[in-house]
Copies of this chain bind each other. A is one copy, B any other.
Amino acid sequence: MTKQVRNTAAKTAVMEMLSQSSTALSHGEIYQSLAETCDRVTVYRILDRLIEEGVAHRIALSDGTVKYALCEQCGDGHHHAHSHLHFNCVLCGGVSCLEVEIPHVQLPRKYKMHDVSLVVNGLCAACNS
């Protein structure tokens, strides 16, 4: 039988925070916003579990920074490639998923593509004025 899933206060708080936020959040940002009401490690494990459950996904920015976001538009829970791009605003620092098709890239012969990670840095709509 498959491992059961429990909803705890901490997990609910993390999900709430991610769902309220207009930007993807790092572990540290989440931990601090929780006013440190639960352990650092717990936040890591909750995030791991949310990803495991297909509720959230991990985003690595172009400098290696890791952020987390809910899988809003991604429908049902089954695991799938997130073939949307991630936008990182150089002004406000915000990170958001843009539901833009990633154009096909042609690889050299014999190369096999599994998945793609596309991060665009620039000015978001709010900052570009």
A116 to B109, CA, bound (A): 24
B64 with A65: CB separation less than 8 A: yes
Residues A114 and B103 in contact in the complex (CB < 8 Å), given A62-B60, A66-B64:
no
With beta carbons under 8 angstroms apart, the residue of B65, B109, B120, B122 that contacts A125 is B109
Closest B residue to A123 by beta carbon equals B112
With beta carbons under 8 angstroms apart, the residue of B61, B65, B114 that contacts A123 is B114
The A77-127 residues at the B interface (CB cut-off 8 A) are: 85, 87, 90, 98, 100, 102-125
Residues A119 and B116 in contact in the complex (CB < 8 Å), given A100-B105, A110-B128:
yes
With beta carbons under 8 angstroms apart, the residue of B100, B102, B110, B117 that contacts A121 is B117
Can you report 6 A-B residue pairs in the complex whose CB atoms are below 8 A from each other? Answer: A58-B63, A103-B104, A109-B125, A111-B124, A111-B125, A117-B117
